[in-house]
A and B are shown apart, each in its own frame.
Chain A
């Protein structure tokens, strides 16, 4: 059973994500995480400001329950299914990241330089997290889905729209890592 405590290889993880998608289809629903952000807006009363949020969010309650499960799953994985909380990435990436000032590369799960609580008082770190979040929330709704809705669900049902969206994801991601990172780190 030791393998459970180790990082899971792609050929276990990918099929398990497909299995999650299958279970949701069998429940009469479909995999898509970013629509929960819209539901959160609707719950907070955003329907008064924009018709986009003026709908019966209660019909989306099932997806909020899935999200609650994801939070719980994250808790269980981090506390009971892991020995070491570090990610073993390619040496070239470690070198690049060290040069950008990410000393935690290769010995943490998330970069301490961005996600350690004590670094949140650094205005630059706080600004990067806020800007990143804005891009995610704005972009996923503009594109009508995120990695789960387009890359997994959408591509699995061979939708051209989802392929275009995934090309967009990569265009944005590559631009950030190869053009913006050298400017900001």
Chain B
């Protein structure tokens, strides 16, 4: 259990370092991306996805098992259009305004930008609002 916990912690450390060092956690890079002025963010997401597709295809083809010997399964997400488009658009508005998505916001907190704690707190409250309104929203 402790070894597994340390494993998760180290994976998080690597992710946090990459988010800061790649500048994906910088508001300026996000605005530049939405102004289509640089390939940088598209290169990060694009190369991660292309390599990710190869990794997942490889896992499926060679039936690679997890470190613990269990088969690796990827459950499909629920079908739908409205929730993904509407929810995605809400998220995009917040992403562009604050320049942070849920991974980078935690990396920024660690990097010492304490004002991001306000964004983390209100994002948590936003998630709470979704939970309250879930049954009234189109999905």
Taking Cβ atoms with an 8 Å cutoff, the residues of A that contact B are 7-30, 33-34, 36-38, 40-41, 46, 49-50, 52-53, 62-63, 65-79, 81-82, 87, 89-90, 92-93, 96-97, 105-106, 108-111, 114-117, 119-120, 126, 128-148, 150-162, 164-178, 180
Contacts and interface: CB of A to CB of B under 8 A. Distances in A.
A38 B132 CA distance: 12
Interface in B100-126: 100-103, 105-116, 118-126
19 contacts: A37-B102, A52-B134, A65-B8, A65-B12, A68-B9, A70-B106, A97-B31, A115-B113, A132-B98, A132-B122, A137-B122, A139-B91, A143-B86, A143-B90, A156-B53, A169-B92, A172-B95, A173-B92, A180-B97
Contacts of B44: 10, 13-14, 17
A125 to B, nearest CB: 8
A176 B96 contact: yes
A163 to B, nearest CB: 9
Contact of A176 (B11, B51, B97, B106): B97
B126 to A, nearest CB: 3
Nearest to A18: B51
B78 to A, nearest CB: 7
B66 A27 contact: yes
B106 A71 contact: yes
